[in-house]
Amino acid sequence: MLNKLESLFSNKILILLILLGLMVRFLYFPDNVYFAYDQARDAFISQKIFQGDFKIVGPPASVPGLFHGALSYYILAILYKLFEGNPFSLSAIFRIYNLIGIIPLYIIANKLFGKTTALLSAFIYAVSFEQTQYALFLGHPSLAVGSVLIYYLGLTMLLKEKNKSGLYYSFIGLALSIQFHLSLSILIIQFIPILLFLLRKKVLILKDVFIPSFTFFLIISSYFMAELKFGFQNIKTLTNMFFEGTGNGLYPKNLLLIFYRYINHNFLNANLYITLIILIILMVTLISILKNIKTKISGYILLAWLVFGTIPYIRSISTLTVYYYSIGGSIALIILFSYLIYRITKKTKLGYLIMVPILFSNFNLIKNNNKNGTIPEICVQDKMLLSDELRIIDYMYIESKGGNFSVNALTNPFNVNTTWSYLFEWYGEKLYGRVPVWGGWAAPGYEGNLKVVTSQSSLPSTRFTIFEPRRGIPGNLYEEFKFTENQFWKIEEERSFGDFIVQKRTFFQ
């Protein structure tokens, strides 16, 4: 194993690609660290683990009643403990983690189609706008990119090389993927028939499967504990969705939309017609791979990867092709596209020039979007940048001149102060030695420790009203919040910090 790693890192081109990917992922850092409700909630919950509050249920899924695995909380707990609650440091680790995915990708592509395809795949992954967005996302879905790659590395070793050690990679990668995002449990449907096929063909025997499968069940054991403790909540919700008609239904057109996003966010940000042409060429390439006896197994691996990387989106009614349901699916398309370029370069070296528009298309998307953090396909509320939030907190402490003050904010979710509570506790109290009171209604049951005072006449005379970036906040809530604030508090000054608006107010006498 050590010799293989030494050989890998002796590849100077791969080293340069890793450095390129590092530069791309840290472009605009630390100003583009995104920190909103989900990040603050996970920060609060994960840090309770070291206080003895162990978790067996993970973050809630988008479908009410479904929850992801708890493992991400333990990973965050370690990182927050190590970096004293600092989200900037966590964001740096997440960016590096995403970049490390270039190594299993290179190994997979090399096993499937050779070194040239592997290097081309590594190049596209390094500069991929989509992958930089996963790198920027401080949340459990971004962790699944690496685990999906580990899973497919194992499958490649098993199917392409008949290497039994691939079982460990597949089982571990599958278990981690399910822990990080529940939707990736669909990979079980893919893996079981492959496993049975290998057992039938005597490539494996039952004895080979025992320890890897035990490892799999050990990793996902928190799901079993949660189901037993909470009355099979996930199972009941999934049963209602799929057998009692309470799900969203099927939306086949979303499969086309997801391929459209794959191509636009990895290869060429073009109009629908050009994107369709690229997709058709790629599908023709895949068919030719499947027809060639030398590459047929590689083709089946890519086909399975593409199908199971996109099919979860068929149940979504979202108008956006959100990143969550198709984690890692585009990587199969990256390998397929890279193989196509390799085939072209065998006829003419000018084929390498195709990488130039890919580079510029991705850099253009990165330049236009990554400075604002994650895009709406990942986080509905955009431009919730930690750098702006800390500037706001500094402004409030400075303007309060050492005195007490209250804060209220138009938040998403509405009337939930989790984000600001975490920032005041981690940053404000550490730097300025005190925290404000929350001077508005705060929905119960959410994370946060700020003292809430709803009697306006009992509050300090200085007040700061925060309006978070408007996307995702209905207009009627905005008007209602503004009307309520104006009933008791007079605006003395208004400042903008990025897309935030902060008003310094005093109590009407």
Q: Quick one: tokens of 287?
A: 């068919």
Q: Where are the beta strands (DSSP E) in 164-218?
A: none
Residue extents of the structural domains in the chain: 37-372, 386-507
Using a pLDDT cut of 70, give the percent of the chain over it.
Answer: 94
pLDDT at residue 274 in the model: 93
Instruction: Tell me: pLDDT of 193 over 90.
Output: yes
Rounded distance, CA 354 to CA 347, Å?
14
Q: Quick one: tokens of 189?
A: 């449907």
Of residues 380 and 421, more confidently modeled:
421
pLDDT at residue 201 in the model: 87
Q: Quick one: tokens of 147?
A: 């685990």
Rounded distance, CA 475 to CA 271, Å?
32
CA dihedral defined by 131, 375, 368, 336, rounded to 10 degrees? 30
Confidence of residue 6 (pLDDT cuts 50, 70, 90): low
Element (H, E) at 505: strand 500-507
Of residues 324 and 371, more confidently modeled:
371
Instruction: Tell me: pLDDT of 240 over 80.
Output: no
* Stretch 413-429: mean pLDDT: 96
Q: Quick one: tokens of 92?
A: 């740096």
Of residues 350 and 495, more confidently modeled:
495
What are 136-181's pLDDT values in tens digits? Answer: 999 999 999 999 999 999 999 999 999 999 999 999 999 999 999 9
Using a pLDDT cut of 90, give the percent of the chain over it.
Answer: 75
Q: Are the CB atoms for 149 and 331 separated by under 8 Å?
A: yes
Q: What end-to-end distance do the CA atoms of the chain give, in Å?
A: 75
pLDDT at residue 324 in the model: 79
